[in-house]
Amino acid sequence: MIDKAKQQPRPVRNQVAQPGEEVLVLRHQKLKKGGHQTFYEISRAGVWPWFEKIGARVVGQWQIIYPDGVGELEDYDEGYRLARYASFKHWQHTRPPANIGLGGDGPDSEANTKALRDRNEVLIGSDGPFFLKGHMAPDKPYYMPGVEASYQLVDGESGKKDVGPVRNDVAQPGQEIVTLRYWKVKKGCYDDFYRASIEGVWPYFEKIGARIIGQWRVFYPPPPACDRKESPDFDEILMMTRYASYEHWQATRQSADLGGDGPDYARLQEALALRRSLSLETSVRFLQGYMYHSPPKYLPGLDERYRKK
């Protein structure tokens, strides 16, 4: 047994940032009933500061919810965490014990280890993760000029509606949700699917109040990293989107009622039709939780001196 008192400390110096293709890891968790908030708070206080120091970026942590009351599990809760890594090699290097070589073994590393143990008090288990490559949504403004036309308000059933411009009420209060949308799609079509999303779907949905987190294709590293197997028949795509509330998501199912039926709506319909033509299967889960936003952290260096061996 190793005597910790005799172990040498492991300070580090780091190389410059390494190039690579960004990888996201979506982890599905099975939690004790009512344990999600505790799991999140332990993660935020003890785990995420360490992982962000060694280069990861946590997107958020959410619990699966059942807005219509259908399908809710009685025995346990389920959660998802999404994190970004500079590359698959980066993710591998953040696994213990290799991660000490990235960040050292100071009190912050010890706090991470303790927090991981504490989380196990509410964590029942975790599925093999989804490894994802693709795109965080571009956080950019959209300029969609109004159509130059005049409109007349019509009354009741006697009024004939031939166009659908809208005015909007003030923003409505609600509890934010995130949708996790899953697709099986025709093999090799991810680029076309993503292009339809970014050019035709997302501008309109951003206009009517949704906020896209991103869209990614699942890839399959070899075991032990991943026990999922790639199908020769289809690819898998995941997308996450923020809505102001479940009622907001429901309203976007009739999107023209929120945003009108101008040329941007026609572009939306074309893009949705293209995505449907590429899709074999789709499903959606509703999540509530926390975007992390990577807040700044002050981790002072220890007052120690070293020399090279």
What's the confidence (pLDDT) of residue 74? 83
> Using only C-alpha atoms, what is the Rg of the chain?
23
Residue 243 in any domain: the answer is: yes
Residue 309 in any domain: the answer is: no
Q: What's the CATH code of the domain at 230?
A: 3.30.70.100
Residue 13 in any domain: the answer is: no
pLDDT band at 71 (very low <50, low <70, confident <90, very high): confident
Contact 265, 256 (CB under 8 A): yes
Residue 119 in any domain: the answer is: yes
Q: With CA atoms as reference, report the closest residue to 276 among 193, 188, 217.
A: 193
Same-domain check for residues 127 and 191: no
117 compared with 6, residue with greater pLDDT: 117
Same-domain check for residues 200 and 122: no
The number of folded domains in the chain is 2
What's the confidence (pLDDT) of residue 309? 84
Q: Taking 70 as the threshold, does the pLDDT of residue 43 lie above it?
A: yes
Same-domain check for residues 181 and 128: no
Spatial separation of the C-alpha atoms in residues 184 and 57, rounded to whole Å: 27
Contact 174, 244 (CB under 8 A): yes
Q: Which domain holds residue 261?
A: 175-288
Q: Among the three residues 75, 110, 132, which one is the final residue of a domain in this structure?
A: 132
Max mean pLDDT among 69-83, 150-164, 186-200, 217-231 falls in: 186-200
What tens digit of pLDDT does each residue of 259-284 get? 999 999 999 999 999 999 999 999 99
Residue 114 in any domain: the answer is: yes
Residue 89 in any domain: the answer is: yes
Q: With CA atoms as reference, report the closest residue to 52 among 301, 297, 300, 302.
A: 297
What's the confidence (pLDDT) of residue 220? 96
What's the confidence (pLDDT) of residue 286? 98
What's the confidence (pLDDT) of residue 106? 95
What's the confidence (pLDDT) of residue 72? 81
What's the confidence (pLDDT) of residue 16? 96
What tens digit of pLDDT does each residue of 163-216 get? 899 999 999 999 999 999 999 999 999 999 999 999 999 999 999 999 999 999
Q: Among the three residues 132, 148, 166, which one is the final residue of a domain in this structure?
A: 132
What's the confidence (pLDDT) of residue 162? 79
What tens digit of pLDDT does each residue of 140-158 get? 999 999 999 999 888 766 6
Q: What is the DSSP letter of 5?
A: G
Same-domain check for residues 254 and 190: yes
Residue 155 in any domain: the answer is: no
Residue 29 in any domain: the answer is: yes
Q: Among the three residues 81, 97, 132, which one is the final residue of a domain in this structure?
A: 132
What value does the mean pLDDT of the chain take?
Answer: 94
- 221-242 core/surface letters (b: 16 or more CB in 10 A; e: else): eeeebbebeeeeebbbbbbbbb
Averaged pLDDT, 93-97: 93
pTM for the whole structure: 0.93
Contact 85, 55 (CB under 8 A): yes
